[in-house]
Structure 1
Amino acid sequence: MNNKRRLFLRNLGLAGAAAGVAPMAFANEAKTFQILKRSDAAPFDKTIRIALIGAGGMGIADAKTALSNPNTEMVAVCDLYSGRLDAAKSLWGSNIFVTKNYKELLKRNDIDAVIIGTPDHWHKQIGIDALKAGKHVYCEKPMVHSVEEGMELIDVWKKSGKIFMVGSQGMSSLGNEKARELIAAGAIGDINYAEGFWARNSPAGAWQYPIPDDASLKTVDWKRFVSNTNKRGFDATRFFRWRNYTDYGTGMSGDLFVHLFSSLHFITSSYGPDKISATGGLRYWKDGREVPDVLLGMFDYPDSEQHPAFNLSLRCNFVDGTSGSTYLKIVGSKGSMEVKWEEVILKRNAGSYDNDPFLNEKAREASNTRTDRKHIVPPLETIYKAEKGYKGAHYDHFANFFNAIRTNGTVAQDPVFGFRAAAPALLCNDSYRQNKFIQWDPVNMKLV
Structure 2
Amino acid sequence: MSSPDRRTFIASALALGAPAVHALGANECLNIGLIGSGNRGRTISTECVKAGHNIVAVADVAKFRHDFIIGELAKVRGPKPAIYDDYRELLDHKGLDAVIIATPDHHHKEQLLAAMAAGKHAYCEKPLSHSIEQGKEMVTAVRKAKKIVQVGNQRHSGEHWARCKDVIQSGDFGDLVWVKVWDCRNWLKRDPFAPPKTFDEAQQKGVNWEAFLGTAKKVSFDPVRYWAWRWYWDYAGGLLTDIGAHQLDIVQWLGGVEMPKSVTANGGTYHFKHWETPDVVHGVWDYGKFTATFAVEFINGYDGVGATFYGTKQTLQCDADPGGMIRLYDTIDKFSSTMKPKAEWKVENETPLHVRNWLSAVKDNKDPSSPIELGHRVITAAHLANVAYRTGKKVVWDAAKEQIVSG
Class of the TM-score when normalised by the shorter of the 2 chains: 0.7 to 0.9
- Give the one of 201, 209, 215 matched to 1:214: 201
- Give the one of 92, 96, 117 matched to 1:111: 96
State the secondary structure of the residue aligned to 2:393. Answer: coil
How far off is 1:396 after superposition?
Answer: 1.0
Task: Name which structure has the greater RCO, CA cutoff 8 Å, separation 6+.
Answer: 1
**Is the Cα contact below 8 Å between 1:206 and 1:318 reproduced in 2?**
no
CA distance in 2, matches of 1:197, 1:266: 16
- Give the one of 295, 298, 322 matched to 1:318: 298
State the secondary structure of the residue aligned to 1:381. Answer: coil
How far off is 1:244 after superposition?
Answer: 1.8
> Counterpart of 2:47?
65
- Give the one of 286, 289, 293 matched to 2:275: 289
How far off is 1:321 after superposition?
Answer: 5.2
> Counterpart of 2:242?
255
- Give the one of 171, 184, 200 matched to 1:186: 171
Determine whether 1:328 maps to 2:307.
Answer: yes
How far off is 1:81 after superposition?
Answer: 0.6
> Counterpart of 1:235?
222
Determine whether 1:85 maps to 2:100.
Answer: no
CA distance in 2, matches of 1:436, 1:215: 46
Instruction: Give the fraction of aligned pairs with identical amino acids, expressed as a percent.
Output: 29
* Residues 427 and 398 of structure 1, relative CA distance in 2, 3 Å threshold: same
CA distance in 1, matches of 2:223, 2:103: 16
* Residues 215 and 327 of structure 1, relative CA distance in 2, 3 Å threshold: farther
Aligned residues: 371
- Give the one of 63, 84, 104 matched to 1:99: 84
**Is the Cα contact below 8 Å between 1:216 and 1:236 reproduced in 2?**
no
* Residues 279 and 60 of structure 1, relative CA distance in 2, 3 Å threshold: same
**Is the Cα contact below 8 Å between 1:131 and 1:156 reproduced in 2?**
yes
Determine whether 1:164 maps to 2:124.
Answer: no
How far off is 1:334 after superposition?
Answer: 0.8
Alignment deviations for residues 376-395 of structure 1 (CA, whole Å, 9 cap, x no partner): 997662333239xx6x2111
**Is the Cα contact below 8 Å between 2:63 and 2:203 reproduced in 1?**
no
State the secondary structure of the residue aligned to 2:251. Answer: helix
Q: What amino acid sits opposite 1:85 in the alignment? A: H
CA distance in 1, matches of 2:247, 2:337: 31
Stretch moving more, 205-214 or 132-141 = 205-214
CA RMSD across the alignment = 2.3
Determine whether 1:420 maps to 2:402.
Answer: no
Alignment deviations for residues 281-339 of structure 1 (CA, whole Å, 9 cap, x no partner): 111112x221111001011002xxxxxx111110011110535x101111111111123
CA distance in 2, matches of 1:44, 1:422: 33
State the secondary structure of the residue aligned to 2:233. Answer: coil
Determine whether 1:381 maps to 2:341.
Answer: yes
> Counterpart of 2:36?
54
How far off is 1:68 after superposition?
Answer: 2.1
- Give the one of 105, 112, 116 matched to 1:131: 116
State the secondary structure of the residue aligned to 1:187. Answer: helix
**Is the Cα contact below 8 Å between 2:99 and 2:121 reproduced in 1?**
yes
Alignment deviations for residues 168-214 of structure 1 (CA, whole Å, 9 cap, x no partner): 11111122111012123233111111110101113455743536113
> Counterpart of 1:26?
none
State the secondary structure of the residue aligned to 1:108. Answer: coil
CA distance in 1, matches of 2:299, 2:192: 8
Question: What are structure 2's unaligned runs of at least 5 residues?
Answer: 1-24
How far off is 1:165 after superposition?
Answer: 0.7
**Is the Cα contact below 8 Å between 1:350 and 1:380 reproduced in 2?**
no
Alignment deviations for residues 349-381 of structure 1 (CA, whole Å, 9 cap, x no partner): 2889xxxxxxxxxxxxxxxxxxxxxxx997662
- Give the one of 298, 302, 305 matched to 2:284: 298
CA distance in 2, matches of 1:350, 1:378: 14
CA distance in 2, matches of 1:65, 1:104: 24
* Residues 311 and 227 of structure 1, relative CA distance in 2, 3 Å threshold: same
TM-score by length of 1: 0.78
* Residues 377 and 141 of structure 1, relative CA distance in 2, 3 Å threshold: closer
> Counterpart of 2:7?
none
CA distance in 2, matches of 1:240, 1:89: 20
CA distance in 1, matches of 2:251, 2:400: 16
Larger radius of gyration: 1
> Counterpart of 2:264?
277
